A and B are shown apart, each in its own frame.
Chain A
């Protein structure tokens, strides 16, 4: 695949890590493959267990070529034996760490959220800022697994929220520096405040979804993704405020609030409100769609409030 260098240059200012890995060619067969090469558009049919961690497959070949090279270097058998022992210990340590991490955070599920490419990022950013013309909001599936964000623009991802969060922190530092109010502690405070509000929102959403017995397929990572999309709105608002003063700030705030509310309502409607297909019996069913609608609307209404709260002190 070839990527436009101009596209790479535009995206480098805010999303620097998108540009660099794209230039990487496929590794030739001699090198140990530590990570599965997910940069090429491999069709999802190939991988059963989808993003099988390439670590374990790559761990074995490391012993091979390294072994042969080392034996040539060290004529002393003790040193070479010590090297082999050391490398096997390191492999075991790596396996143990992977196993422990996999117990708490499902790495496969997390990899799904970071499987993006620049085309998806561009389309998603456009969608976040102007969602009114988008027709089809369904997340497409392929044999029971949702398609990765690379193949489906409606799929949530964690790349954009992470990068937008970091960009927001940098922008906050810059805004405070322009007003001569900068200090490193304030930057850390800003970062942790934004993070804490997202965590609170995710916890409240989880609680509401549990209390209303909504059996949707929204996992924690999905909720983090949908909550993290507000950072893009925050960046746009702060930029508007910095470039055009107070009027620009309120204009950008209104625009990004409306766009984000529309986006959240349309996206969550598919997941929350459509999961009542099997319990449409009995009189209790009529109360439930209303409460679910309330949740969706409340989530959407919360976004402008928090955007205003987190950005107003940056643009006086």
Chain B
């Protein structure tokens, strides 16, 4: 398995894209991972599921606009250089 840095970048972009397409009300709420279901106990140990839901929500919020730019650049580069 020979990696280059470019393949790592590709893998990261694909994973972030996968997280970004999870729709809030059509999908996440249906499986119990919605925003309203994450306010659980107010103890200091949030638990794995709540942390994961927070992570998904923050990735979607933060990476929405940069992903547009990064994906466009990636598409153009792939079209030009194969």
Chain A residues close to B by CB (< 8 Å): 189, 192-193, 195-197, 199-200, 210-213, 279, 282, 284-285, 288, 309
Contacts and interface: CB of A to CB of B under 8 A. Distances in A.
Interface of B: 1-5, 7-8, 43-48, 51-52, 55
Given A199-B8, A200-B8, A210-B51, A282 B45 contact: yes
A196 B51 contact: no
B3 A211 contact: no
A288 B45 CA distance: 9
B48 A193 contact: no
Given A279-B45, A282-B45, A213 B51 contact: yes
Given A193-B1, A210-B55, 7 more contacts: A195-B5, A196-B3, A196-B7, A212-B51, A213-B51, A284-B43, A309-B1
A124 B69 CA distance: 45
A139 B55 CA distance: 31
A181 to B, nearest CB: 14
B8 A196 contact: yes
A196 B44 contact: no
A213 B4 contact: no
26 contacts: A192-B3, A192-B4, A192-B5, A193-B3, A193-B4, A195-B5, A196-B4, A196-B5, A196-B7, A196-B8, A197-B3, A210-B51, A211-B48, A211-B51, A211-B52, A211-B55, A212-B51, A213-B45, A213-B46, A213-B51, A279-B44, A282-B43, A284-B45, A284-B47, A285-B45, A309-B1
A197 B7 CA distance: 12
A185 to B, nearest CB: 10
Contacts of B43: 282, 284
Contacts of B55: 210-211
B4 to A, nearest CB: 5
Contacts of A309: 1
A247 B2 CA distance: 26
Nearest to B7: A196
A285 B47 CA distance: 11
Contacts of B3: 192-193, 196-197
A279 B46 CA distance: 12
A243 B3 CA distance: 28
B53 to A, nearest CB: 11
A10 to B, nearest CB: 34
A195 B2 CA distance: 11
Contacts of A212: 48, 51
- In the A-B complex, list the 5 residue pairs whose CB atoms are closest, starting with the nearest: A196-B3, A193-B3, A196-B8, A211-B51, A189-B2
A195 B8 CA distance: 10
A209 to B, nearest CB: 11
Contacts of B5: 192, 195-196
A237 B34 CA distance: 49
Contacts of B46: 213
Given A200-B8, A211-B51, A211-B52, A193 B2 contact: yes
A73 to B, nearest CB: 48
